[in-house]
Structure 1
């Protein structure tokens, strides 16, 4: 699936990326399993970066900015998602540091109007040899900067915890 901005609704910051919930993603109660929300966000981010020329083919030394580790992750669940189908991941960058990046996400309806879960994840870019923090490339920083969330979002914006 190619990353495309959803046309039906715009978001005040970041980007909406299509995601699909399958029947087997639901738990015994018929709700999207709690572990699937961050997985949907991860897949959306992977597609977003892949479509911009970033990827991983098994060689960590050549992976560049894709050689990163998770320092922190937080997810808050707002309401159950109870049906398979097309949804969206609203993605944005909350903080862009020299070696770290905090991104926010919402798993939401395809038009972005209804939120099911939201959260954030902190990534640290690491050197493939030393596994020590190393700076993001200028290219990655430029792309990430396009998704920076304004410091004072609209009063009605969701995911304030991210």
Structure 2
């Protein structure tokens, strides 16, 4: 029995995102094939979201009683990028729930209109001490709403 291949998502443009922020490639990002290895795209996603949350969402990594844990992530690749390419990450909130948020993220070459790669990243917000899901705090929810 064969398993059907999932449909490839449409390639997104910058217009699909509410916020664009720079992402620096590093020499170590390149693999033996001369392009950024797939694992680094997940790091770019994490860096883009964490940077935005610190700047706009009031996240204090050392002190916040509520933290976001990554529970799901995925990526579709359309074209290779490589160090020393200047990249930018587009971020939009695709779904804002009671205790979770799903981000859609695009990785663009600087000035490129279409994403070189795109994917999603899901945070579930938990109490730092108990690690149990909690409602997204009001200040953070308001900031995330700006990305929706």
TM-score band by shorter chain is: 0.7 to 0.9
2:23 is equivalent to residue 19 of structure 1? yes
Q: Take 2:17 and 2:88, find their aligned partners in 1: how far apart are those partners?
A: 14
Question: Where do 5+ consecutive residues of structure 2 fail to align?
Answer: 1-13
SS in 1 for 2:45: helix
Q: Could you tell me whether the CA contact under 8 Å between 1:90 and 1:112 is conserved in 2? A: no
Report the Cα offset of residue 11 of structure 1. Answer: 3.1
Q: Take 2:127 and 2:138, find their aligned partners in 1: how far apart are those partners?
A: 16
2:137 is equivalent to residue 131 of structure 1? no
Q: Could you tell me whether the CA contact under 8 Å between 2:29 and 2:83 is conserved in 1? A: no
Q: Could you tell me whether the CA contact under 8 Å between 1:88 and 1:112 is conserved in 2? A: no
Residue in structure 1 matched with residue 75 of structure 2 by the alignment: 75
2:65 is equivalent to residue 64 of structure 1? yes
Q: Take 2:16 and 2:31, find their aligned partners in 1: how far apart are those partners?
A: 33
Residue in structure 2 matched with residue 32 of structure 1 by the alignment: 36
Q: How many residues align?
A: 135
Q: How does 1:71-110 map to 2 (within 5 A)?
A: 71-110=71-110
Report the Cα offset of residue 15 of structure 1. Answer: 0.6
Distance 1:119 1:84, change over 3 A: same
Name the TM-score, length of structure 1 as normaliser.
Answer: 0.76
| Pairwise CA RMSD | 1.8
Residue in structure 2 matched with residue 119 of structure 1 by the alignment: 119
Question: Where do 5+ consecutive residues of structure 1 fail to align?
Answer: 1-9, 149-162
Cα-to-partner distance string for 1:40-96 (whole Å, 9 max, x where unaligned):
121111111111232212xxxx3134x121221111111111341311000110000
* Structure 1 stretches of 4+ moved >2 Å: 10-13
Name the TM-score, length of structure 2 as normaliser.
Answer: 0.83
Match of 1:55 among 37, 56, 60: 60
2:48 is equivalent to residue 44 of structure 1? yes
Report the Cα offset of residue 129 of structure 1. Answer: 2.6
